[in-house]
């Protein structure tokens, strides 16, 4: 009962804040956290009037004890829809990833960190963290005082990394394309990752939440994009990752366009890159 009351109060706060624009913060408060690594994503988010603000970090670790997958969905489906409106990530994908990565909110990592998406610290993370055994022993994972900070950081994580940029060319109700794209972009190493996400989505009818968002005026079909192709000459210090960030294209697509079998580069090497026509 306490859990539901807390969730309702937070969602009411979100609704009251929907008409405000998000401001870029430089503090470490998780409620105000905004990625500064990708101004393109930040500018796009700033332009969306329907983005809501997270409440200020109270400093208290708040957990939501969950007993079933359906209870997880009931608890977090609305926040997943808010994230879809703000960042364009299908609510079905967000929920399915949360269910899978967090063991529907019951994993040891979640109980320690409220990290529902298994996001590791990575370079540049300035928030709280904790250590947990994953692929290797004692890896660093991001820690949040409230699960909803984890959902927001998941959205920022996907929109602020060039390797995921191609996903946003997909329709926002194309959960199958997103599921396979996340695996292609390297979100998970499990070869069955897409099928697991799709299974959760179809078993629990999670795509209904994508439809709910789009029925509110968030169009699911995108205008076809046209691209400019140009040549990038490799300079000292260039890597495929740095080039992918510069041109907002995934490493995988760079390698495919240039028919590369390895990520090795040579100074003076010419790479074909593409960018969306203005």
pLDDT tens for the chain, residues 1 to 278? 444 444 544 454 444 343 333 333 333 334 333 333 334 344 444 444 345 566 566 778 887 889 999 999 999 999 999 999 989 999 999 999 999 999 999 999 999 999 999 999 987 788 889 988 776 787 899 999 999 999 999 999 998 888 898 899 899 999 999 999 999 888 998 999 999 999 999 999 999 999 999 999 876 666 555 667 889 999 999 988 888 777 767 777 788 889 898 889 999 999 998 765 65
Do 16 and 93 fall within a single domain?
yes
With respect to residue 43, please indicate whether it lies within any of the assigned structural domains. yes
Domain residue limits at 51: 2-215
Beta strands of 195-269 (E only): which ranges?
227-233
Residue of 197, 181, 221 lying closest to 91 (CA atoms): 197
Question: Do 183 and 233 share a domain, yes or no?
Answer: no
Q: Can you give the three-state secondary structure of 72-95, one letter per residue?
A: HHHHHHHHHHHHHHHHCCCHHHHH
In this structure, the answer to whether residues 148 and 242 fall within a common structural domain is no
CATH code: domain of residue 235: 3.10.350.10
pLDDT attached to residue 243: 85
Work out whether the CA dihedral 171, 173, 178, 180 comes out positive or negative. Answer: negative
Judgement on whether residues 123 and 231 belong to the same structural domain of the protein: no
- Residues belonging to the chain: 278
> Are residues 144 and 259 part of one domain?
no
Kind plus residue range of the DSSP H or E element containing 272: strand 270-276
Sign of torsion, CA 51 55 57 59?
negative
| Statement to judge: residues 260 and 152 lie in one domain | no
pLDDT of 242 reads 84
- Strand 129-132 and strand 139-142: the pairing is antiparallel
211 lies in the same domain as 253 = no
* Amino acid 23: pLDDT: 31
For residue 260, how many other CB atoms are within 10 A of its CB? 15
Residue 221, in any domain of the structure = no
Q: Which helix (H) or strand (E) holds 170?
A: none
CA 128, CA 23: separation in Å to the nearest integer?
21
The answer as to whether 112 is a domain residue is yes
Does 145 map to a domain?
Answer: yes
Q: Can you give the CATH number for the domain in which 56 is found?
A: 1.10.530.10
Any domain includes 135: yes
Q: Is position 163 within any domain?
A: yes
Is 182 a domain residue? yes
Residue 21 maps to a domain: yes
- Distance CA(262)–CA(219), nearest Å, equals 38
Domain count, the chain: 2
φ, ψ of residue 86 in degrees (nearest 5): -80, -35
Instruction: Please say which residue of 168, 183, 215 terminates a domain.
Output: 215
Residue with tokens 């590369």: 260
Q: Which are the contacts of 106, defined by CB distance < 8 A and separation ≥ 6?
A: 66
pLDDT for 62 equals: 80
Asked if residue 89 and residue 194 are part of one domain, the reply reads yes
- Kindly state whether residues 117 and 204 are assigned to the same domain: yes
Q: 152 and 271 share a domain?
A: no
| Domain match, 158 and 244 both | no
- Whether 10 and 145 share a structural domain: yes
pLDDT of residue 127: 87
pLDDT of residue 248: 67
């Amino acid at each position: 009962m306490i859990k539901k009351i807390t969730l309702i109060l937070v969602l009411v706060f979100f609704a009251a804040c929907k008409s405000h624009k998000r401001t870029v913060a430089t503090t470490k408060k998780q409620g105000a956290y905004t990625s500064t690594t990708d101004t393109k994503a930040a500018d796009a988010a700033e332009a969306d009037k329907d983005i809501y603000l997270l409440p200020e970090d109270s400093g208290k670790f708040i957990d939501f004890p969950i007993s079933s997958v359906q209870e997880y969905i009931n608890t977090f489906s609305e926040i997943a829809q808010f994230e879809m409106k703000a960042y364009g990530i299908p609510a079905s994908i967000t929920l399915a990833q949360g269910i899978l990565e967090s063991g529907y909110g019951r994993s040891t990592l979640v109980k320690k960190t409220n990290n529902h998406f298994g996001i590791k610290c990575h370079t540049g993370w300035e928030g709280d963290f904790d250590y947990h055994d994953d692929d290797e022993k004692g890896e660093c994972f991001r820690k949040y005082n409230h699960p909803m900070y984890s959902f927001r950081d998941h959205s920022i994580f996907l929109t602020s990394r060039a390797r995921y940029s191609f996903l946003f060319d997909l329709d926002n109700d194309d959960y199958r394309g997103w599921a396979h794209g996340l695996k292609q972009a390297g979100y998970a190493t499990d070869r069955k990752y897409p099928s697991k996400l799709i299974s959760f989505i179809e078993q629990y009818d999670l795509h209904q939440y994508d439809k709910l968002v789009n029925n509110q005026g968030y169009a699911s079909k995108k205008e076809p994009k046209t691209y400019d192709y140009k040549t990038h000459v490799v300079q000292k210090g260039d890597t495929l990752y740095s080039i992918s960030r510069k041109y907002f294209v995934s490493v995988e697509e760079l390698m495919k366009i240039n028919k590369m079998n390895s990520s090795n580069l040579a100074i003076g090497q010419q790479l074909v890159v593409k960018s969306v026509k203005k």
